[in-house]
Structure 1
């Protein structure tokens, strides 16, 4: 009896319903109050001359409206918080925000952000943002040239920096950064493109339906129509609407329900995000038409088919800076295939990447969504923090294709003191087959998209010839502004704003609720029922999404897979060649051959520093990657070596690459030349060898092929006889060198 009396009394169903009803009503009042505040915030944000959501103070450096070819972009310097110590010798970071319907600032939305982690790592930070309204006559090309002037300005402000600026391009800004880097490669340090589409047709069946939208709508004529209805401006709210259509469960229910269910704790986070999400901007008709015609529908960037107004082709192979591609399997806006398959379009093998001197590092997150790539605190503290902390490691990597693998620092058994953050970044060598393994299009898919691109051009020409003059004649600036104001997304904010007299009672009611808040108890059965109903709504909307996506994919395949339609549109249905492929250039091959000949003449040139770097690369090739601990050990070695101290990072990077290529050109001759490059004193050679061992073992003990290679190098360093021609005992096996014949023939 005593045990029974000690149990808590269960509330009667009537009491549970009463408590739930009071709580539900109070949450509804508070929910309406948050929506009212959202409406006020929207109108206040829109009224600003330069609205943004940066969490930092900034200093205007260059206003794009003052340039010879004016644009609505601007360069600002982020003023570091008091707890950040900036090293003026470190390369600056420039974060370029996407202009995809929203306003600027997402790259510095909070402390745990791309800007935040870069400043924490000691880098000066700059930000490239934009105003809500474009300058009349503005084009994407003019924006690119403005951004080039921004980079020139930053470089001139940091003449002592150890490297050119690291540029981060988020989402839509990524392709713009890549285009500029192809046109002006000398301005860039490492490039980080986060959630950025570059291969616009790519994807996986049943997973990436957004890529079918252009074809199902008949191409880009609709873009031209919307721009004409906007009197020469394209309303970015339509782009935001496209994003929302990808996840109807979240758009129509989950986002608002989550606020209602957790209104006591969720309000500020919700309002902070909505300040950015509702900050709609406009683009000129020319800008938007270029984006749709040449990129999303035309897919011309990777194929090298985009030309500037003076006829210069934009070839991504001319980029000389390391490229870091950050994407996620959970991103339904820019899936990994759209972020990475441009590499497959441009290169036939990793050997070709190496021959052209390019370094590409990619990271594939398992689950984070598109916006999480930029705004997730967890991503900022992990991936972006590692990029910022190890940007110099990425900059000196030998040319090739790598995947950055992040492991917890706690798992480091060897030299954890060399790890700068909470994660260890290791760059592991990969091949094009590793990218293909993520899935992608086959030849038939490519033909379908090529047919859709051709039909888009036909429909656009028909619209321009027969309908556009009538539409433009009927539209006035005032009617265009009215249409923008009546956009459903804008109405969703304004209907809860201060202009709605039916919500005048909400602020006072919300104050009374907060003074007497009575949330229901955790195990209330009606709260559980509420969650079940919400789950069923989400499940229903998800089923609807999957059905419509499946129908869209099947419809696209049926229409554009027709052999008759493909033939009518100029796409050969029987061809075994892909309709889009970057052309090869004999000039590039000639330049590679000339560089190969020049490097052969320098095989025996150099001293102890060149010998150390050459030996380090030779042994490291057997490991197939690089570890940040090894790079930190190289920093120590560099500081301790007199000749290395005299080199800045760019010069040291050039030295590393030259020695890497010399090994690829003629490995046997390159190794045989090492003894002649060493000092005469045996003690100096052995001290250098110990330093080399320290670097190599910083990320773990040498094993198998790497250990064998180091033993071979040890024998080279131990030779005390004269010089060229004196060789150690030949190695029995050199596993890492077997697959490089194709490279040796070219570089």
Structure 2
């Protein structure tokens, strides 16, 4: 028999009407709470959304060049043990319109996973209002001073601090690291834009905004309308504009439709999202001119006040880049293409002694990189747990690949968490495969940057004097309070007399709450209407993005405009490519000569490191099991135990470079580094086998290389030594 459709009844309509009315009352009450929370948060001197107790360590307002930044120590919660020998973690918060605390917004966060791994944790945050006159350079020098303080507080730590820069803090951390590389251990930059023009056609239209607005003159106007203060609410508005469906409908509808369970999460997020801060107009002008429109960071074209060039190739610490294909604010191209701007090959990365590890999430959005508990428990947890592995990786380019630990059988006892991280060697072609600009796109953005300079000069000459004469600080404050994002909190806040009735009525509604049944047909109709609204807003977004892209390409791709602005249309060199350094090339050649002369120097530790690298390079990567085996071997081996982590890292890097420079000569010298006694050589080779087999049995080229190493150890006629036999022999000696 055909299935009969169920017609809505009067009872369904009444139940839904009552439920909808009650949800509306509760929704308005949450809006009232949101407004009250906003005013309370705004009234605090140092508001933040950290989920941890803190103590102030250093206040940037007391510096010779004062800034509104501060360093705080994260106090461990009950049951959390901090190991003083482990390197500290320092999380630097992004100042992109919102208040501080996003890196420690939840227990499962960047701070949370680092503390769980036993690391001391610090947080660099900021106050809502800048110190008058502070600059981006002042902030960079203050952050360097904070790191000096952290290092001094942890003299027993095995390594320099691991520094995490989220979003806008990512480029700030990279600037400091290029100026003061000696202060940094591994650097993790999450969702951080470093190559500002990069992207894929048909996606990520935010990069076109500067050109479509005529450049940075509008930034200068906004700063002047704020009497020298730039309102961060405008930056938040830019983020909101990227997703109109969520901004105009989904966020509010999700609260309304799940009002009985969603209020706490909604208010928690709004506490951060609505914590608007301000910047000095000079700070914001630098960010737009030098970074977003000018794209000068990766090209090495930014200089400090004393003339020092900011060159990211000066960084000596491993750099971990975490980005996502679902991030429409900082897509993978903007997070990774700075590597293409700086280097022509992986060999050039190695020549600078840099280690770059990246991982690309498939779906998580921009904010999810920092606030998603799932991301924290997976990606950030693995980075925190394996930060020492990352620190001793040989120079080069790697992708961090995460695999469920339950899928692993070999070396399971060497895996600490729920995932296993493997760093696989990559080339620049792997970065290019993610998509990016062609040479014509580069010229379009270069044209937009040139036009921006002209428009800014015209504004400053003809309009800025009049604007500055009209806008006084009280007028600027009034305009800030009238910003649409700020106004929405006030309109629904407790100071609005029209909202006075909601609290009492909402309490009555909670006492008599009667939600509609899940199978109520009117709820299904409500969901259908919501999806249609979202689909309509999404269609409008896609159309607007398409028009924006086409307009940008047509205007700034015009040959006449490019010629008028001095853009060379016949050049095959990208306008933003970093210049090569003749001095660096000379230093590299001197270093090569030095290493060649030391190929035969060293002992058993150098010999084992050389053999391990030679065989391991054939695998094209390394995972945490092999490193954990090395760590245990290092603790057990008397000679290796004397080495600090920094010395061990130097040893591994020198042996790696020797193999790269002249593999045959380096291998030929290996027997000279080994002990004379065959028993000692056999014990060393057994230890080597255990480390190599920790990540699974050797096959192919790696197995062939191991046979060659056995011959160099003088063991080619010896029977193969099994791992279990090696363990038994060491246990016998230990007993």
Structure 2 residue corresponding to 1:588, chosen from 584, 588, 598: 584
1:70 counterpart (55, 66, 84): 66
Q: CA deviation at 1:83?
A: 2.0
Name 1:88's counterpart in structure 2.
84
Does structure 1 retain, via aligned residues, the 8 Å contact 2:8–2:521? no
1:261-280, aligned counterparts within 5 Å? 261-280=257-276
For 2:343, the equivalent position in structure 1 comes to 347
Deviation at 1:643, TM superposition (A): 1.5
User: Does 2:413 correspond to 1:417?
Assistant: yes
SS in 1 for 2:713: helix
Query: Which residue pairs with 1:740 in the alignment?
Result: none
Distance in 2, matches of 1:34 and 1:11, equals: 34
Aligned counterparts of 2:662 and 2:698: Cα–Cα separation in 1? 24
Corresponding residue number in structure 1 for 2:103: 107
C-alpha distance in structure 1 between counterparts of 2:312 and 2:440, whole Å: 25
Verify: 1:183 aligned to 2:179, yes or no: yes
Per-residue CA deviations over 1:328-382 (Å, capped at 9, x if unaligned) read 0000000000000000000000010011100000000000000000000000000
Once residues 16 and 413 of structure 2 are traced to their aligned partners in structure 1, the CA distance between those partners, rounded to angstroms, is 54
Which of 36, 43, 63 is matched with 1:40 structurally? 36
Is 1:599 the counterpart of 2:595? The answer is yes
TM-superposed CA distance for 1:27, in Å, is: 0.6
Please state if 1:519 is matched with 2:544.
no
Alignment pair present for 1:373 and 2:369: yes
* Mapped partners of 1:696, 1:482: distance in 2: 67
Is 1:210 aligned with 2:209?
A: no
> For 2:644 and 2:510, how far apart are their aligned partners in 1?
60
1:127 aligns with 2:123: yes
- 1:597-676 equivalences under 5 Å are 597-676=593-672
Match of 2:561 among 539, 545, 565: 565
Aligned to 1:718, the other structure's residue is in SS state coil
CA deviation after TM superposition for structure 1 residue 261, in Å: 0.2
Q: CA offsets, 1:100-132, max 9 Å, x none?
A: 000000000010000000000000000000000
- State the match for 2:527 in structure 1: 531
**1:301 match:** 297
The RMSD of aligned alpha carbons is: 1.0
Q: Which residue of 2 aligns with 1:51?
A: 47
- 8 Å Cα contact 2:616/2:702 also seen in 1: yes
Rounded to whole Å, the distance in 2 between the matches of 1:545 and 1:138 is 38
Q: Deviations over 1:49-91 (max 9, x none)?
A: 0000000010000000000110000000000101211000000
Measured in 2, the distance between the counterparts of 1:714 and 1:35 equals: 72
| Counterpart residue number, 1:403 | 399
Distance 2:290 2:565 in 1: 18
Q: Which of 457, 462, 468 is residue 466 of structure 1 equivalent to?
A: 462
Alpha-carbon distance in 2 for matches of 1:24, 1:208: 37
Q: Deviations along 1:579-622, whole A, 9 cap, x unmatched?
A: 11100011000000000000011100010110000000000000
Aligned to 2:714: 718
1:143 equivalent to 2:145? Answer no
Within 1, Cα distance between the matches of 2:385 and 2:254? 36
Equivalent-residue separation in structure 1 for 2:448 and 2:155 (angstroms): 49
Determine the C-alpha separation between the residues in 2 that align with 1:63 and 1:636.
41
Deviations 1:689-747 (A, max 9, x none): 1111110011110000000001111111126xxxxxxxx89xxxxxxxxxxxxxxxxxx
Is 1:196 equivalent to 2:188 in the alignment? Answer: no
Query: Distance between the aligned counterparts of 2:437 and 2:86, measured in 1?
Result: 42
Show the counterpart of 1:247.
243
Quote the offset at 1:574 in angstroms. Answer: 2.2
- Cα distance in 2 for partners of 1:305, 1:244 equals 31
Q: For residues 382 and 580 of structure 1, what CA distance do their matches in structure 2 show?
A: 35
User: Moved runs in structure 1, 4+ residues, more than 3 A?
Assistant: 9-12
Q: Distance in 1 between matches of 2:413 and 2:324?
A: 30
1:169 aligns with 2:165: yes
Q: CA deviation at 1:11?
A: 8.8
In the TM superposition, residue 665 of structure 1 has moved relative to its aligned partner by: 1.3
- In structure 1, what is the equivalent of residue 93 of structure 2? 97
1:61 to 43, 57, 62: 57
* 2:232 match: 236
Inter-partner Cα distance in structure 1 for 2:122 and 2:572: 47
Q: Distance in 2 between matches of 1:453 and 1:94?
A: 34
Give the structure 2 partner of residue 323 of structure 1.
319
In 1, the alpha carbon distance for the partners of 2:660 and 2:642 equals 26
Consecutive unaligned residues of structure 1, counting only runs of 5 or more, are: 1-8, 720-727, 730-747
TM value normalised by structure 1: 0.95
CA distance in 2 between partners of 1:569 and 1:63 (Å)? 46
Q: Is 1:430 paired with 2:430?
A: no
What TM-score do you get using the length of structure 2 for normalisation?
Answer: 0.96
**3-state SS of 2:113 partner:** helix
| CA distance in structure 2 between the aligned counterparts of 1:684 and 1:514, rounded to whole angstroms | 77
Q: Deviations over 1:489-516 (max 9, x none)?
A: 0011111111111111111111111111
Q: CA shift at 1:529, angstroms? A: 0.2
* Aligned-pair CA distance for 1:389: 0.1
Instruction: Please state if 1:554 is matched with 2:550.
Output: yes
Deviating more after overlay: 670-679 vs 281-290: 670-679
**Matched ranges for 1:725-736 at <5 A:** none
